[in-house]
Amino acid sequence: MKKKLPILENVKITAIAAEGKALARVDDRVVFVPYVVPGDVADLQVRRKKHNYMEAVAIRIHHYSADRATPFCPHYGECGGCKWQCLKYQEQLKWKQQQVVDNLTRIGKIDLPHISPIIGSAKTQAYRNKLEFGFSNRRWLTEREIDDDRNSAATSPGALGFHVAAAFDKILDITQCNLMPDINNTIRNEIRRYALAHNLTFYDLRQNRGLLRSLMLRDSNTGQLMLLVQFRIDTDDEHRQAMNLMQHLSDSFPQITSLLWVDNHKCNDTFADQEIHTYRGTDYIFQQMEDLRFKVGPKSFYQTNTDQAYTLYQVARHFAGLTGNELVYDLYTGTGTIANFVSRQARQVIGIEYVVEAIDDARVNSEINHIDNTLFFAGDMKDILTAPFIERHGRPDVVITDPPRAGMHADVVGTIMTARPERIVYISCNPATQARDLGLLNPQYKVTRVQPVDMFPHTVHVENVVLLEHR
């Protein structure tokens, strides 16, 4: 017989741990609890018990912390995003700063200089410029819907929203998301209404069938709006249905300047290798940063918090200390945003990126901004950034690196150390892997400045910029 897990009574929450869960200690054992904040006192139902830690949920809160905030989203606690809505924003920033300190000192063993206070986001809602939503014929029912037999919405034949972490093939139906301006709700809810009214089939991930697969919305600070709808079209009738939906969207939302669609028959929704069809308007939008314009297509990478991206790049440019005479290597350049952003303060910038289409975008962005001192190369970083490459193109004075969450390959770190640039500016969305790489660089490079930047309010994620100078 399975042993019943205990209820822990009157437990005080004391800190924030990894992945955003709050932390308490009971009998010298750590307890991880979601959706509570430091200062709360609660009864906890243990859900998982291990030798040195437990996982639990709060079933009753006796005392609410002064650091608590009222969640603003109707899907809070059901949707997997924005888990820190219950914590005041200034407290979120405090714990994100501590996350950076803990990672750099515990993982990287870095002797840290003074860390600048984290730069918060001026916008804490409607700060994203891109969202993706999925369709599913398997709707995730919330506990409230399961308990309420009278809720007719619970029997809805399809859902349009976010994937549920606990069930890969189910979608939590989202009626309101505050991460983008409200146009995202208006468009999404109208697509759902139209689809249900016209009996369009919602995607079945297990069977890889169903007309409606996903949609992506992108907006820009130039007032443009992109909508891409992914279909799986198997018959002439489904093609007619898909085009009728696109026409309805074209008629209903003239503010959409880039209306696109994809016919994707793969078993996943990635469309980097798929043909994009333009139904109306252009196949791109523009983002503005200072006097630079960046062309952003449906496959392009662009930082999803437009305003904070500008802040982040300003920090990176400042740390680089460019005088106009430097050769800069921009590693993991993406669509060349940073490379083009710093190009006017450098002699030359060389950008390297794995994705060929991103490098194509980078070259276009240099061209449209009349920038002629950039060079871009596509391929695996560890294969391109080699000693012969550096011998051919020159030893960099400054390296700016902004790798994916996994951090840099050890061979890339080794090549950087061999190249011996005077300064390295390391931008990271994952302070843990950043700390690991800083530890590898530590024999030759000293960390002299650290600047955390909050790109994603109400989430556990934090961006961090580090300046390293040759010892």
Q: Which residues are catalytic?
A: 429
- Distance in angstroms (rounded) separating the CA atoms of residues 421 and 327: 10
Residue type, 19: E
State the virtual CA torsion across 316, 317, 319, 322 in degrees, nearest 10.
150
Of the candidates 355, 452, 458, 386, the one whose C-alpha atom is nearest the C-alpha of residue 115 is 452
Question: Helix crossing, 89-106 with 431-441: angle to 10°?
Answer: 30
**Strands 130-136, 53-63: parallel, antiparallel or unpaired by DSSP?**
unpaired
- Distance in angstroms (rounded) separating the CA atoms of residues 236 and 140: 31
Burial class (CB within 10 angstroms; exposed 0-12, middle 13-18, buried 19+) of 181: middle
Of the candidates 450, 417, 408, 411, the one whose C-alpha atom is nearest the C-alpha of residue 110 is 450
DSSP state for residue 251 in the 8-state scheme: H
Q: Beta partners for 229?
A: 215, 261
Q: Residue 191: phi, psi to the nearest 5?
A: -60, -45
User: Could you give the C-alpha distances from 13 to 42, 69, 111, 147, in angstroms and in order?
Assistant: 8, 15, 30, 30
| Residue 430 CB coordination number (10 Å) | 18
3 state SS of 31: strand
| Residues 371, 307 contacting (CB under 8 angstroms) | no
Alpha helices in 151-275 (DSSP H): 183-197, 236-252
Residue type, 148: D
User: Could you give the C-alpha distances from 398 to 312, 316, 331, 338, 346, in angstroms and in order?
Assistant: 17, 11, 11, 13, 10
- Distance in angstroms (rounded) separating the CA atoms of residues 344 and 109: 36
- Distance in angstroms (rounded) separating the CA atoms of residues 318 and 230: 41
Q: How many Cα atoms are found within 13 Å in the side-chain-facing hemisphere of 118?
A: 26
Of the candidates 406, 340, 405, the one whose C-alpha atom is nearest the C-alpha of residue 367 is 340
Residue type, 388: P
- Distance in angstroms (rounded) separating the CA atoms of residues 226 and 381: 31
